[in-house]
Amino acid sequence: MRFRDLTEAQLLALAITAEEEDGRIYRDYAESLRPNFPDTAALFNRMAEEESGHRHRLIELHRQRFGEHIPLIRRQDVKGFLAPRSSWLTLNVRPEKAREEATLMEIEARRFYETAAQRATDAGVRQLLGDLAQEEGKHEQLAAAINTSQATRHESVEEHAVAKRLFVLRFMQPGLAGLMDGSVSTLAPLFAAAFATSSTTDTFKVGLAASIGAGISMGLAAAT
């Protein structure tokens, strides 16, 4: 459906769903970052609580104006608005990247409320949407202030160091271990064939077979 075709009830329903999704994403970020970046996790918990407050105000207004039933309308169902990235795809996201994505989400939310408020004719709906647009703008300023504060206290440098260590432990170290293991497994039969046969052709065949086998083994191990 097109955004300009939405009724006021549908605008509120869309806003309710969007606030629910944003709150869940912020809580997912907080849960992922809490073990290593507690300050950033606290920021996302605070933002999630504010999104929950927005949702309650939207639901209450919908109940007063249009009744108890709230239709399920998501951002991806409406042309002109992009759905945010699923947070479960970024479980190992770095804190600065999470804050950057959160800022983009807040900008998108502010623009949505500003546009929706312009289309609303009911005074109560228009007022709430306008208020939420201003509050989403404050979220942008909050994220910028947090980034500046952390940079001043050198927390961003510490975050970068922790993220670098985690990257080495999670990806580089297992990758190098697998590479060494695969290399040794491949070279061992190659040298054995060379000493046993003294034939370059036979050695090449053994090496080729060992390489293919090691590639399949490492590929299956990576996939699992």
Cβ neighbour number for residue 88 with a 10 Å cutoff:
10
Q: Give the range among 146-150, 162-166, 218-222 with minimum mean pLDDT.
A: 162-166
- Do 65 and 144 lie in one domain? The reply is yes
The domain boundary residue, chosen from 122, 153, 184: 153
Q: Is the pLDDT of residue 68 over 70?
A: yes
Nearest one of 179, 64, 58 to 127, comparing CA atoms: 58
- Do 143 and 168 lie in one domain? The reply is no
**pLDDT over 70 percentage in the chain:** 59
Distance between CA atoms of residues 134 and 177, nearest Å: 52
- Do 136 and 177 lie in one domain? The reply is no
Cβ neighbour number for residue 16 with a 10 Å cutoff:
22
Predicted pLDDT of residue 2 = 84
Predicted pLDDT of residue 154 = 46
Average pLDDT over the chain, rounded to whole? 75
DSSP 86: P
- Do 37 and 119 lie in one domain? The reply is yes
- Tell me the pTM: 0.63
Predicted pLDDT of residue 200 = 75
pLDDT category, 12, cuts 50, 70, 90?
very high
Q: Is the pLDDT of residue 114 over 60?
A: yes
Q: Is residue 69 a part of any domain in this protein?
A: yes
Tokens of 199: 């034939």
Per-residue pLDDT tens digits for 120-134:
888 989 999 999 998
Number of folded domains that form the chain: 2
Which residues form the domain of 12?
3-153
Q: Is residue 159 a part of any domain in this protein?
A: no
- Do 149 and 182 lie in one domain? The reply is no
- Do 135 and 74 lie in one domain? The reply is yes
Q: What CATH number does residue 86 fall under? A: 1.20.1260.10
Q: Is the pLDDT of residue 176 over 50?
A: no
- Do 127 and 173 lie in one domain? The reply is no
